């Protein structure tokens, strides 16, 4: 798990927010645990009311780690902008220069999570690869 560059970035970003030192004794697995929501668990989470702010914080961390990986892979700094309605749906953009490299529509964020760490990384890696392909296609826009 610690070899996966996306998971490494995500853990770096999570630990960077540990301003009180409370998570220093926690293992990587413990820090990633809230990102893992199995299909069965997901089905049991109601999508009524507002999702927990901690979930929105995890969504931001997840996309920030993607932005970080895009910058590592392409050299283009990716800047995130997320607009989430309090009921748990919205939109997340990552931009490099004048180029939109990731455009995700999000919904039912109450249930945000992944089956396991491997599938979280697979999904992120796919988004990162697509962003790198868009940058390779329009390099002058990404630099604009």
b/e map 14-34, b = 16+ CB within 10 Å: beeeeeeeeeeeeebeeebee
3-state DSSP: the chain helix, strand, coil percent, rounded to 5? 55, 15, 30
The contacts of residue 129 (CB under 8 Å, 6+ apart) are: none
Taking the complex as a whole, the smallest distance from the CB of residue 137 to a second copy amounts, in Å, to 8
Taking the complex as a whole, the smallest distance from the CB of residue 84 to a second copy amounts, in Å, to 9
Question: Counting contacts by CB under 8 A, is residue 107 touching a second copy?
Answer: no
Tokens coding 50:
């507002």
Nearer to a second copy, 15 or 85 (CB): 85
Nearer to a second copy, 65 or 94 (CB): 94
Pick from 59, 99, 109, 120 the residue near a second copy by CB under 8 A: 99
Nearer to a second copy, 95 or 121 (CB): 95
Tell me, what DSSP letter sits at residue 77?
Answer: P
Number of residues that bind a second copy (CB under 8 A): 17
* Stretch near a second copy under the rule CB under 8 A, chosen from 17-25, 89-97, 105-113, 117-125: 89-97
Strands 89-96 and 99-106: antiparallel
Nearer to a second copy, 56 or 117 (CB): 56
Tell me, what DSSP letter sits at residue 120?
Answer: H
Site for a second copy in 45-64 (CB under 8 A): none
């Amino acid at each position: 798990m610690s070899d996966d560059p996306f998971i490494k970035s995500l853990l770096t970003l999570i630990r960077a927010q540990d301003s009180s030192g409370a998570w220093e004794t926690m293992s990587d697995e413990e820090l990633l645990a809230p990102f893992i929501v199995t299909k069965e668990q997901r089905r049991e989470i109601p999508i009524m009311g507002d999702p927990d702010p901690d979930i929105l914080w995890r969504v931001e961390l997840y996309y920030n780690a993607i932005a970080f990986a895009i910058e590592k892979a392409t050299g283009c700094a990716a800047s995130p902008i997320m607009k989430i309605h309090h009921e748990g749906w919205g939109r997340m953009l990552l931009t490099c220069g004048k180029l939109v490299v990731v455009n995700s529509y999000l919904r039912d964020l109450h249930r945000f999570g992944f089956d396991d760490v491997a599938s979280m990384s697979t999904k992120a890696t796919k988004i990162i690869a697509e962003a790198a392909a868009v940058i390779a296609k329009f390099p002058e826009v990404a630099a604009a």
